[in-house]
C-alpha cells in the first residue's frame, strides 16, 4: 500500500504538470478520498460480481474532457508504473475495464460522447464514450431510413462494443458494427493521436474486432450508416415444451440461417412457470424477430418456410427501426425515444456468461439433456440466446477483420446465468452450473478451436500470466478461440504498436519476444 500511495501521489503530480489546463484536470480526477469516487466507479458497472468490497479498486479514476487529458494519463501511468484500464460503457462481462490486481488507473471515457451524423453522406463520427442507444437516437433524429447494425442493449458503450465486433438484429443483412467502421482515431502508447491513414491498415484492422484494450485508447469511430425501410416488422412468439418448443427449435436451427437476409429470428430459451401459478416449471422458447420489411411480405415468407411456428398477422407489429430498438430493449410500447439517451441500465444482476458456435444442428436428444440442466435449481434464472448467422455473415471473409466467425456457423449461443445474492457460495453455485452446461454442450458445438465471442468475455477460456509476460503459446489458448488464425496477425500488430506491452489485461494480445 505504501508503494501504491507513493505511486499515486506521483501520478497525480505528473498529471497536473502535463495537463494543458490544470484547473480542468483537477475536476476530472477521483481518488478514494473523494466523496464521489465510489459512485463514479460503480456508475457503469453492469455485473455486480465486481462491486464487492474485496474487488480490487483503482487508485485513481480519470474522466477526461478532452483528448489531451488522455495523452497525459497515458504518459503519467507509464512513467509511474501504473496500469491503465480504459472504460467506455463498462459492460465487460468480466469487469476488465475497471478491475485489475496491480496498481491501476481507470480512464473512463464517459464524458467523450459526441456524435456527429452526416446524413448526406450516410456516415457518422461517434466518440467511444457514447452508448449505442445514444448513437441510434442521433441517427434516427436525422433520418427514418438510416440505422446501424450494432447491439440490442442501449447502454452498451461504443468503445468496447465496436472494438470487439458488436452485433444485433441486422447482423444477417449488414454484418457486425465493426464491419461498418471506416475510420477511427486512437491515442497510441506514445501519446500520438492517429487516424486510419496515420495508424496504417494493420492497426486499423486490429482494432475492429481484436479488442481495443490491447492497442491504445480509441477515441472515436467513423461509421457507414445502413439503409433501413421506413417500417420494419417485429414479433415475439412464445412456445413451451408442451407447445412443441423442442421440435420448433430443432427445425429453426437449419432454416433460420437460410432465411432472406432481411429476416432475423433469434430464440431466447428460459425456464418458466407452466401456468403462472407457482406450479410446475417448463421450458419456454421465445422466437423474437425483426424483419426489414412489411407484414404483407413477412407472412407468406413464414408460411412457406416455417409454418409450424404458426405466425399470424396479429402477432406482428410494424414500426420504425428506432421504435424497434425500444421494443427489443424491453421498453413498454409508447415509451419516449429519450430513454435511449439514458445511460443507466434498467437492472444490474450478478451474472456469468459463455458463448458457443454451432455448425451442425443439435439433435433432439441433445436438447433434452439441456432441459434437464435447466430443471436443476440453478437453471431457474438461466437463459440461452440463439442468434442465427448466414446471410451477410457468410459473405465476409474470416480474415476481413479479426472477428473470424463467418461462413460455416449456423448460429451463436450465449449461455447466461443470473443470481441475486452476493455471498461467495451463491456465485460459486451458479458459476459451477454454467460450467457444467458448457461441458455438456461440448459434443454439439464448434471444435478445434471451440470458438467464442470476445464481447461475451469469459476468463474460463484462458488468461494471461499475472506478471504480464505471457508466451504466444499460452495466450493462443484463449486467442485462437476468439480469433482463430487472425490471432497470429494480432500478435504481430501488437508487437509493432505497443512493443513494451503497456496496454495489457487478462486477455490482451501478447507481444512476440524481441529475438523472434
Catalytic residues: 456
Sole window of 166-174, 318-326, 392-400, 433-441 interacting with ligand FDA (rule: CB under 6 A)? 166-174
Is residue 167 near ligand FDA by the rule CB under 6 A? yes
Q: Which of residues 444-463 bind ligand FDA (CB under 6 A)?
A: 455
Residue 311 or 393: the one with the smaller Cβ distance to ligand FDA is: 393
CA angle 91, 125, 196 (to 5 degrees): 95
| Of the candidate residues 73, 134, 163, 324, the single one contacting ligand FDA (CB under 6 A) | 163
Q: For the window 127-146, what string marks contact with ligand FDA as x by the rule CB under 6 A?
A: -x------------------
Find cell 529475438 and name the residue. Answer: 515
Q: How far apart are the first and last CA of the chain?
A: 37
Q: Minimal distance in Å, beta carbon 32 to ligand FDA?
A: 21
| Of the candidate residues 77, 99, 105, 213, the single one contacting ligand FDA (CB under 6 A) | 213
| Of the candidate residues 103, 149, 154, 160, the single one contacting ligand FDA (CB under 6 A) | 160
Q: Which long-range contacts (CB under 8 A, 24 or more apart) does 129-133 make?
A: 129/88, 129/157, 129/158, 129/159, 130/157, 130/158, 131/89, 131/155, 131/156, 131/157, 131/158, 131/343, 132/156, 132/157, 132/158, 132/161, 132/166, 132/177, 133/325, 133/329, 133/339, 133/340, 133/341, 133/342
Alpha helices in 126-233 (DSSP H): 132-142, 158-164, 171-174, 196-206
Is residue 90 near ligand FDA by the rule CB under 6 A? yes
Is residue 46 near ligand FDA by the rule CB under 6 A? yes
Q: CA 174, CA 167: separation in Å to the nearest integer?
A: 10
Is residue 69 near ligand FDA by the rule CB under 6 A? no
Find cell 452446461 and name the residue. Answer: 437
Find cell 427501426 and name the residue. Answer: 321
Handedness of CA 136, 259, 314, 228 (dihedral sign): positive
Residue 282 or 387: the one with the smaller Cβ distance to ligand FDA is: 387
Q: How many residues does the chain have?
A: 516
Is residue 86 near ligand FDA by the rule CB under 6 A? yes
| Of the candidate residues 72, 82, 206, 218, the single one contacting ligand FDA (CB under 6 A) | 218
User: Could you tell me which residues are beta bridge partners of residue 237?
Assistant: 287
In the 8-state DSSP scheme, what is residue 192? -
Residue 68 or 282: the one with the smaller Cβ distance to ligand FDA is: 68
Q: CA 233, CA 297: separation in Å to the nearest integer?
A: 10
Q: Minimal distance in Å, beta carbon 58 to ligand FDA?
A: 12
Residue 153 or 511: the one with the smaller Cβ distance to ligand FDA is: 153
Q: Minimal distance in Å, beta carbon 330 to ligand FDA?
A: 11
Sole window of 58-66, 161-169, 376-384, 477-485 interacting with ligand FDA (rule: CB under 6 A)? 161-169
Q: CA 488, CA 499: separation in Å to the nearest integer?
A: 15
Residue 213 or 245: the one with the smaller Cβ distance to ligand FDA is: 213
165: left (phi over 0), alpha (psi -120 to 50) or beta: left
Distances in Å between the Cα of 323 and the Cα atoms of 115, 234, 242, 305, 350 are 20, 10, 33, 27, 29
Is residue 391 near ligand FDA by the rule CB under 6 A? no
Q: CA 350, CA 426: separation in Å to the nearest integer?
A: 10
| Of the candidate residues 161, 172, 343, 406, the single one contacting ligand FDA (CB under 6 A) | 161
Q: Minimal distance in Å, beta carbon 87 to ligand FDA?
A: 4
Residue 163 or 464: the one with the smaller Cβ distance to ligand FDA is: 163
Q: Minimal distance in Å, beta carbon 332 to ligand FDA?
A: 18
Find cell 494471461 and name the residue. Answer: 464
- Residue of 90, 80, 44 lying closest to 60 (CA atoms): 80
Residue 214 or 282: the one with the smaller Cβ distance to ligand FDA is: 214
Q: Minimal distance in Å, beta carbon 491 to ligand FDA?
A: 17
Q: CA 435, CA 352: separation in Å to the nearest integer?
A: 10
Sole window of 158-166, 193-201, 289-297, 458-466 interacting with ligand FDA (rule: CB under 6 A)? 158-166
Is residue 40 near ligand FDA by the rule CB under 6 A? no
Sole window of 150-158, 191-199, 224-232, 391-399 interacting with ligand FDA (rule: CB under 6 A)? 150-158
Is residue 164 near ligand FDA by the rule CB under 6 A? yes
Residue 245 or 402: the one with the smaller Cβ distance to ligand FDA is: 402
Secondary structure class of 312 (helix, strand, coil) = coil
| Of the candidate residues 64, 149, 151, 479, the single one contacting ligand FDA (CB under 6 A) | 151
Is residue 97 near ligand FDA by the rule CB under 6 A? yes
Q: Minimal distance in Å, beta carbon 412 to ligand FDA?
A: 10
What angle do the packed helices 364-374 and 245-255 form, to 10 degrees? 120
Query: What would the DSSP string read from start to end of 356-412?
Result: EEESSPPPHHHHHHHHHHHTSGGGGGEEEEEEE--THHHHS-TTSSS----TT--EE
Binding interface with ligand FDA (CB under 6 A): 46, 85-93, 96-97, 109, 128, 151-153, 156-157, 159-161, 163-164, 166-168, 212-213, 217-218, 455
Amino acid at each position: 500500500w505504501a508503494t501504491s500511495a507513493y505511486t499515486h501521489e506521483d501520478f497525480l503530480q505528473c498529471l497536473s504538470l502535463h495537463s494543458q489546463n490544470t484547473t480542468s484536470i483537477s475536476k476530472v480526477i477521483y481518488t478514494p478520498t473523494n466523496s464521489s469516487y465510489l459512485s463514479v466507479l460503480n456508475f457503469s458497472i453492469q455485473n455486480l460480481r465486481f462491486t464487492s468490497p474485496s474487488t480490487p479498486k483503482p487508485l485513481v479514476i480519470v474522466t477526461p474532457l478532452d483528448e489531451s487529458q488522455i495523452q497525459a494519463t497515458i504518459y503519467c501511468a507509464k512513467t509511474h508504473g501504473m496500469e491503465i484500464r480504459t472504460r467506455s460503457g463498462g459492460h465487460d462481462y468480466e469487469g476488465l475495464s475497471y478491475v485489475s490486481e496491480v496498481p491501476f488507473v481507470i480512464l473512463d471515457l464517459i464524458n467523450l460522447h459526441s456524435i456527429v451524423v452526416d446524413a448526406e453522406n450516410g456516415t457518422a463520427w461517434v466518440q467511444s464514450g457514447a452508448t449505442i442507444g445514444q448513437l441510434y437516437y442521433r441517427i434516427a433524429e436525422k433520418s427514418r431510413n438510416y440505422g446501424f447494425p450494432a447491439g440490442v442493449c442501449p447502454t452498451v458503450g461504443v468503445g468496447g462494443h465496436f472494438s470487439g465486433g458488436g452485433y444485433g438484429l441486422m447482423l444477417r443483412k449488414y454484418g457486425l458494427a465493426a464491419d461498418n467502421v471506416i475510420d477511427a482515431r486512437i491515442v497510441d502508447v506514445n501519446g500520438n493521436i492517429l487516424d486510419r491513414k496515420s495508424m496504417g491498415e494493420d492497426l486499423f484492422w486490429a482494432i475492429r474486432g481484436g479488442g481495443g484494450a490491447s492497442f491504445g485508447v480509441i477515441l472515436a469511430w467513423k461509421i457507414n450508416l445502413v439503409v433501413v425501410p421506413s417500417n420494419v416488422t417485429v414479433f415475439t412468439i412464445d412456445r413451451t415444451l408442451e407447445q412443441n418448443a423442442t421440435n420448433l427449435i430443432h427445425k429453426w436451427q437449419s432454416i433460420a440461417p437460410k432465411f432472406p437476409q432481411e429476416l432475423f429470428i433469434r430464440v431466447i430459451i428460459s425456464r418458466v412457470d407452466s401456468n403462472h401459478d407457482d406450479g410446475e416449471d417448463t421450458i419456454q422458447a421465445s422466437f423474437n424477430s425483426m424483419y426489414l420489411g412489411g407484414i404483407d411480405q413477412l407472412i407468406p415468407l413464414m408460411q412457406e418456410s416455417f409454418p409450424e411456428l404458426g405466425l399470424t398477422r396479429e402477432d406482428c407489429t410494424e414500426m420504425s427501426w428506432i421504435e424497434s430498438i425500444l421494443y427489443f430493449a424491453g421498453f413498454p410500447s409508447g415509451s419516449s425515444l429519450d430513454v435511449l439517451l439514458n445511460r443507466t441500465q434498467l437492472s444490474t444482476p450478478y451474472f456469468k456468461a459463455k458463448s458457443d458456435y454451432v455448425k451442425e444442428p443439435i439433435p433432439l436428444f441433445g436438447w433434452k439433456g439441456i432441459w434437464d440442466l435447466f430443471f436443476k435449481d440453478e437453471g431457474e434464472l438461466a437463459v440461452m440466446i440463439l442468434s442465427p448467422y448466414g446471410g451477410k455473415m457468410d459473405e465476409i471473409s474470416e480474415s476481413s477483420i479479426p472477428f473470424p466467425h463467418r461462413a460455416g456457423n449456423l448460429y451463436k449461443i450465449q449461455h447466461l446465468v443470473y443470481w441475486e445474492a452476493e455471498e461467495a457460495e451463491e456465485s460459486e453455485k451458479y458459476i459451477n452450473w454454467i460450467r457444467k452446461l458448457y461441458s455438456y454442450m461440448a459434443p454439439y458445438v464448434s471444435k478445434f478451436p471451440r470458438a467464442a465471442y470476445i464481447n461475451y468475455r469469459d476468463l474460463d477460456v484462458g488468461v494471461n500470466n499475472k506478471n504480464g509476460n505471457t508466451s504466444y503459446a499460452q495466450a493462443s489458448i484463449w486467442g485462437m478461440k476468439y480469433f482463430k488464425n487472425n490471432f497470429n496477425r494480432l500478435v504481430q500488430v501488437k508487437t509493432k504498436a505497443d512493443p513494451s506491452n503497456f496496454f495489457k489485461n487478462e486477455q490482451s494480445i501478447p507481444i512476440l519476444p524481441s529475438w523472434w
